Structure formats: structure tokens, C-alpha cells
Amino acid sequence: MPKITNIEIIELGEEGEKSSPWSSTILVLRLTTSDGVVGYGEAPTTLMTRPVYEQMREVARLFINKDVENINGNYFEFYKNSFYLPVSMESTSALSAFEIASWDIVGKIHGLPIYEILGGKVRDKIRAYANGWYNDCVTPEDFLSKAKIVESMGFTAVKFDPFGSDYHHLSEEGLLNAREIVSTIKNETNLDILIEYHGRFNANSAIRAINTLQEFDPIFHEEPVHPDELVGLRRVRDATDAPIALGERVLNKKEFLPYFTDNLVDIIQPDVTNVGGIREAYGSALLAEAFGAEVAYHNAFGPIQTAATLHLDSVIANFRIQESFEAFWPDWKKNLLKKGYKLDKGYFTLNDSPGLAIEVNERIIEEFKTDIMEPFNPSEPPWVVKGTFKR
């Protein structure tokens, strides 16, 4: 069995942030085996680029010289040694990159795309919704102008955060403005809508917002309350009948269980780059299926993450819709892959190449290597789409 003999951790980014702040840098992992097979993984960087980079060095100490095909064993070896793994996003993110890269290699060794190793496709086309499209949008007219551009690209659904600079408490002005934004897009386009709350509100404000916006029939309301307020989420659930989505901050499949047993969620959004990789993201979907819930994987960073996520979308029965920032990335990120998945008229497709079914552009790797931290703007949190935290 081939062993992991070389590990390269590479940060990529561009001076003068041109993407969403949380994804202005990405961490790429390149593993090489004793017989020369190369696999790629990716880790997220939301205001923690350097901590995740350093944690990847810790994971490397356990993965070096390990059998690359022993994905479960290598995963659990780090699980055993990383005392804070289930509650440390730095640890789960770092581990995810190694796990994804291992799957890429295993697929190449056996000449199979990952979706075949997971049991084969249940769909060939994967419906996407656009995100990241509404930078600098504040007024309903701003949102509508850009939404029409997105619609002209062939997308059939858009997600957006209409709440301006309100945080924790939703003001009456903020609620009225959000309603006008959502109403305008719903009535002036043919797009399905998904409403992003970014976990910004207390339960009282979330209830007011959902009960006001549900008339526009969104596919879901995402993270309506702060992610650590489970009792608040229960109050939201009891006060509304709207579909709730969450999960990008849930760090392994077992942590989803209370949301299902307490009937707190309709659609889960695990992130393959922080939940533990492909095995945990797949396990999360199987758990959701047992409770009749659906999956809309979180996908906000780079193309290696997207590729891994699409293999999962292809095989799970309870797929709902896939997040996509691709059309609104800076050029360096768009060009990181020489070959891979396709996004056309709002739908993703995969090819049948082995592993992740991608070819990485080494020129972009060399040209955009960096060691910077993400940009920080004290007047706007890094998790919002740029230029929207205002009214």
C-alpha cells in the first residue's frame, strides 16, 4: 500500500482583496505518495488562515509515512491525539484537507472518480444557487439590478443577506428594508430565493424576521439565530413553520444529532472542508436521510472544496441544492483548476476522471503563494458580502 511521503501546505491569495473577505485566501494541501501519486485537499480560512495553516502542520506529523488508503485509520489516529478536535474548527479544518487529498489519491490509484467509490451517482446535474453576487448592495434597487444579472447567467436561485448592519437586534427599519429587498427580487425576477441570516440575531428578532419574510416562500432561512443559542432556536421553531437550514459551523456528523432529535432543522449544510472531510460530510447526509431531512452543502471557499462537494452531491439521495460562488471569484481562483467540474446555466456537472476529477494549475499555485492574513475591516465583519453591512 503506498505511503504518504511528501506533504506541502500552500497558502494562496492576492494582495488587495478582490473576493469575499472570508475567502480571500485559501489553503491548499498537496500530498505525494511513495509511488508518485499526487492528491489535493483544501482547508477554509475565515479569519484564521495562519492558525489553520499551523494546525495542518500538526496533522502532517501524524499523516507522514502513513498508508494513504487507510483513510479511516488515519482519521481516527488524529481524532485520538487531537484532544479538542470535536470543538476546534482549526483542527477539523486541517484534518479535512488531509482526508480530501487522501480520497483524491485513492481514486487515482484505482482509476475511479470519488463518486464511484462512494457507490455511484444518483444524479448527473446538480442545481446551484448563486452566492457572493450582491457585493455593495444596500437598497432594493441595488439588489434587483445585480439579481437580474445573475438570472441572465442562467441561475434559477439566489441566496442573500438583506439585513444590512443590524446585529443581534433587528430594528423596525431593518425589518422593513429586508422585506422590501426580498419582495423586490421575488416579484421582479423568476428566481427562487434563499435567505441568509449569518447567525446574527437573537430569537426574538429571528422570529420577527422569519414571520415577515416567509410569505415570499424562500427555499430556506439559514442560521436565523446565533449558532450557540440552541434554546433560542427551539423558540424560533415553536413560533414559525418556515424551513430552517444550518450546519456550516457543525464540526462532525455526531453533532448534528441533537438538531434532528429535537426537530430543529429541515436542511443541513455541512462543509466538507471543516466537518472532517468526505467521510463525515457523507455520514452527515446519511444521518439527515434517516430523519427525512435534506442536504445543501456549504461551499464558500475554493474550487478543490467545490469538487469534493460535488462528488457528494452526486451520490446522496437527499440533495436539495448546492451553493456556488464560482461566477463571482477573482480570476486567480477561477483559474486554479485547468480541468474539473463545469458550471453552466445554474447547474454543475462532473467529469469521469479519477479522484476529485480535477487538474490543478501549478502556474497559479506558484504565482499566488502568500503568507498574508485575510484583510480585516473594523467597520464590517469578515463574514458578510463586501459592502453590505450598512444602511
**113 in helix, strand or coil?**
strand
User: What is the distance between the alpha carbons of residues 347 and 76, in angstroms, rounded to a whole number?
Assistant: 35
Dihedral, 294, 284, 359, 367 alpha carbons, nearest 10: 100
Kind of pairing between the strands at 4-13 and 25-33: antiparallel
Active site residue 169: no
DSSP-derived secondary structure for 186-251: HHHS--EEEEE-TT-B-HHHHHHHHHHHGGG--S-EE--B-TT-HHHHHHHHHH--S-EEE-TT--
Centroid of chain to Cα 292: 22
SS3 150: helix
- Per the DSSP assignment, residues forming a β-bridge with 343 are 348
Which H, E and C letters describe 322-366, residue by residue? EEECHHHCCHHHHCCEEECCEEECCEEECCCCCECCCEECHHHHH
DSSP state of 292: T
Q: Catalytic site residue 110? A: no
Burial class, 335, CB count within 10 angstroms (exposed 0-12 / middle 13-18 / buried 19+): middle
Instruction: Decide if 81 contacts 63 (C-beta within 8 A).
Output: no
Separation CA 209–CA 212 (nearest Å): 5
Q: What type of residue sits at position 155?
A: F
Query: Distance between CA 231 and CA 301 in Å, rounded?
Result: 30
Q: Which of 198, 221, 226, 311 is catalytic?
A: 198
Which residue of the set 110, 169, 221, 298 is catalytic?
A: 298
Beta pairing partners, 25:
13
Catalytic positions: 198, 298
